[in-house]
Structure 1
């Protein structure tokens, strides 16, 4: 998920350099949303951890 967030962020930077403002806004929003989802899932994963199998 972090990979996709970085991909959309790079897409937003390239679109910004080329002057496509609508694409910049959309790609930035998607990158931010994916990054937030990644952070939430990472925190949940860290809190729960691996439990030993009995």
Structure 2
């Protein structure tokens, strides 16, 4: 099974934020430095979660 993204729950000051975690890699890179690079992004799944993160 291939998982492209995962959900993540985060509690900040007794409020729950739901995030989508996505990770990408540069598997075909020729440069060793770029080949080891991984990018990870956390995106809010709903408007309430976005508001919680903007308030920080």
Normalising by structure 2, we get a TM-score of 0.29
Which fold has the larger relative contact order, with Cα–Cα distance below 8 Å and residues 6 or more apart in sequence? 1
Larger-Rg structure: 1
Instruction: Compare the two structures and name the one with the higher strand fraction.
Output: 2
Q: TM-score, normalised by structure 1?
A: 0.29
Q: Identify, as 1 or 2, the structure richer in helix.
A: 1
